[in-house]
């Protein structure tokens, strides 16, 4: 029996499973926001990943059981040639209800005349954790790479088919989930968090 509950600010069962795996071995029971009656609606209007992650974490903590820890994540893609865009707008780059494909098409069009050596980018993830006393902490992870000229591979989601991580010549869409799990921005942020929580 775990001594602590860590409630993830999502109703997405797949994301909860992913964090269960990334944080395995610590003295926490990883739960979804369903145990609080569901994740409350929030307006992610922050100007950074840190701000948006904290907005979600604070909204969940307001309805979480006493003594529980909560965690929220916010992540996206930063392209240097676009001054860091799409950034916090990654999920809605092509519009409020944009599909992954529409976002990818818009990004490739924006980079159409940019040579490969200038197509540097990174996936970034920020985790916001609020402990049982209300103390807020943030954990950052990033994965450097470049943007391909066209979409390749059908693994993953979002911008995975056009993101080539450093040290590889294939996209995350081609490399598959096991490679992505080792390199991803979310995995790196979770490793930092896990090292901190393991000390409890």
What is the distance, to the nearest Å, from the Cα of residue 157 to the centroid of all Cα atoms in its chain? Answer: 12
Closest CA to 120 of 74, 157, 80: 80
Q: What is the CATH number of the domain that holds 51?
A: 3.90.950.10
Map 143-188 to HEC letters: EEEEECCCCCCCCCCCCHHHEEECCCCCCHHHHCHHHHHHHCHHHH
The DSSP bridge partners found for residue 77 are 123
**Rounded distance between C-alpha atoms, residue 72 and residue 91, angstroms:** 16
What residues are labeled active site?
A: 74
Number of domains in the chain: 1
Q: What is the pLDDT along the chain (200 residues), one digit of tens a residue?
A: 567 899 999 888 878 888 998 898 888 999 999 999 999 999 999 999 999 999 999 999 999 999 999 999 999 999 999 999 999 999 999 999 899 999 999 999 999 999 999 999 999 999 999 999 999 999 999 999 999 999 999 988 899 999 999 999 999 999 988 898 889 999 999 999 999 988 87
Domain that holds residue 101: 4-197
Yes or no: say if 78 and 124 are a contact pair by the CB < 8 Å rule.
yes
Helices (H), 62-119: 100-110
pTM above 0.85, yes or no: yes
């Amino acid at each position: 029996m775990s001594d602590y509950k860590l409630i993830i600010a999502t109703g997405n069962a797949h994301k909860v499973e992913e964090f269960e795996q990334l944080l395995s071995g610590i003295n926490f029971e990883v739960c979804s926001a369903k145990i609080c009656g569901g994740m409350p609606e929030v307006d992610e209007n922050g100007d950074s990943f840190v701000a948006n992650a904290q907005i979600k974490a604070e909204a969940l903590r307001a309805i979480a059981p006493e003594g529980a820890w909560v965690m929220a994540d916010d992540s996206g893609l930063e392209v240097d040639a676009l001054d860091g865009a799409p950034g916090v707008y990654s999920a809605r780059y092509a519009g409020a209800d944009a599909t992954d494909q529409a976002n990818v098409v818009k990004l490739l069009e924006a980079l159409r005349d940019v040579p490969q050596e200038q197509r540097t980018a990174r996936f970034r993830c920020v985790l916001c954790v609020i402990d049982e006393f209300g103390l807020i902490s943030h954990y950052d992870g990033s994965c450097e790479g470049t943007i391909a000229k066209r979409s390749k591979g059908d693994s993953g989601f979002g911008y995975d088919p056009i993101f080539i991580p450093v040290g590889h010549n294939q996209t995350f869409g081609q490399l598959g989930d096991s490679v992505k799990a080792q390199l991803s921005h979310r995995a790196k942020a979770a490793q930092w968090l896990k090292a901190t929580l393991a000390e409890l």
